[in-house]
Amino acid sequence: MRMKLMRYSLTSIHVPGKILNTAGTLSQSPMDNKEEYSFYEELELYANHILEEIPVTNSKLEEIMHHQQEDEVCKQILIYASEGWPDKHLVQGLVGLYYAY
């Protein structure tokens, strides 16, 4: 081992432990998270906020939602979003335009 290290010029320097922030942080146990993080709750709050900020009347918004529920492309996207998207070559029609999103 010593022979292999001879080709290198090594210098050792003492670094006090209080300067090694990364090592200190990694050696500590993780903090207990009392508050459960729920991605879906946050997503729903965000979606509700977006709906409140859209400058349309409630009747127009209900009309848009009704037409989206009847639209075949929107129905298929909803199924893929909840169950998972298939491989790209299996997606047919206009739904393929939304594959990247």
pLDDT tens over the chain, length 101 residues: 677 777 888 788 887 877 777 766 667 766 666 566 678 888 889 988 988 888 888 899 899 999 999 999 999 999 998 999 899 888 888 998 888 75
In three state form, how does the secondary structure of 30-91 look? CCCCCCCCCHHHHHHHHHHHHHHHCCCCHHHHHHHHHHHHHCHHHHHHHHHHHHCCCCHHHC
Which residue type occupies 26? L
Alpha carbons 12 and 10: distance in angstroms, whole number: 7
